[in-house]
């Protein structure tokens, strides 16, 4: 039995193509729009000149627009990789959230996101570990959905991984951290500081300063 789906407005974008190499969605990538309104974001995501799109856009009040069919390749992720695999566009479904990145995500928007995600995850058999932020696969280049996004709320419903309580390894060096982060999926080729920022943005956005043992715990 499929979960309930949010009321969705079909607003097709011309910016899509076939998924490459027979790939089907195994990831959900969450974004914020960083624009002044959902309407402005919708226009950009459907503008041929912009050459960007996503499968879904969720407005601040919970309105859901679908722009690209789930079995097609939307242009939302760009350069980057996750778990050593590139072409994230062919491997994922992209969801844009109407948010400028500097304020919390509202209850109505989060509720709509959760209902939408349950359906996507069931249709494509995507596990909680397959839900990532844009910043996870493009560290340094992207920061969305940002430090105000409530990953814990999703984790409590098994819609994303939680912070975990993994053991801290003996090697708490930058090398040891890179090894742990890579095992968790953060494999994009970036420097140590950028990698630490990306992992913290996902699991410990309040943290600052140099690498510390607590940074390893979510990766266990």
pLDDT along the chain (220 residues), means of 10: 75 98 98 98 98 98 98 98 98 98 97 98 98 98 97 97 77 92 96 98 96 90
Q: Which of 127, 156, 185 is the last residue of a domain?
A: 156
Residues 64 and 114 in one domain: yes
Q: Which residues are catalytic?
A: 96
Backbone angles phi, psi at 133, to 5 degrees: -95, 160
Question: What's the structural domain count of the chain?
Answer: 2
Contact indicator for 32, 88 with CB cutoff of 8 Å: no
Per-residue pLDDT tens digits for 68-127: 999 999 999 999 999 999 999 999 999 999 999 999 999 999 999 999 999 999 999 999
Task: Flag whether 126 is in a domain.
Answer: yes
The C-alpha atoms of residue 67 and residue 65 are separated, in whole angstroms, by 6
Domain residues for the domain of 197 are 174-219
pTM of the model: 0.96
Q: In what order do the strands lie in the sheet with 131-133?
A: 8-10, 64-66, 56-58, 92-97, 27-32, 131-133
Residues 150 and 53 in one domain: yes
Q: Which of 156, 186, 204 is the last residue of a domain?
A: 156
**Domain with 121 in it: what CATH number?**
3.40.80.10
Task: Flag whether 3 is in a domain.
Answer: no
Task: Flag whether 145 is in a domain.
Answer: yes
Residues 20 and 114 in one domain: yes
Q: Which of 109, 127, 156 is the last residue of a domain?
A: 156
The pLDDT, as a whole number, for residue 1 is 41
Residues 110 and 183 in one domain: no
The pLDDT, as a whole number, for residue 115 is 98
Residues 48 and 132 in one domain: yes
């Amino acid at each position: 039995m499929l979960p309930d789906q949010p009321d969705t407005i079909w607003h097709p974008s011309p910016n899509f193509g076939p998924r490459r190499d027979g790939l089907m969605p195994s990831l959900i990538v969450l974004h914020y729009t960083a624009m002044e309104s959902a309407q402005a974001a919708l226009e950009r995501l459907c503008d041929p000149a912009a050459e960007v799109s996503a499968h879904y856009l969720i407005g601040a009040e919970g309105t859901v627009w679908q722009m690209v069919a789930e079995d097609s390749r939307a242009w939302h992720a760009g350069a980057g990789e996750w778990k050593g695999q590139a072409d994230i566009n062919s491997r994922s479904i992209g969801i844009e959230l109407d948010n400028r990145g500097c304020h919390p995500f509202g209850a109505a928007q989060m509720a709509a996101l959760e209902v939408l995600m349950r359906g996507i995850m069931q249709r494509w058999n995507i596990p909680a570990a397959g839900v990532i932020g844009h910043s996870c696969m493009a560290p340094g280049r992207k920061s969305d959905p940002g430090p105000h996004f409530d990953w814990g709320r999703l984790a409590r419903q098994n819609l994303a991984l939680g912070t975990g309580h993994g053991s801290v390894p003996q090697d708490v060096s930058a090398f040891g951290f890179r090894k742990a982060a890579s095992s968790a999926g953060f494999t994009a080729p970036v420097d140590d500081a950028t990698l630490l920022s990306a992992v913290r943005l996902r699991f410990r956005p309040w943290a600052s300063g140099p690498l510390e043992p607590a940074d390893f715990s979510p990766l266990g």
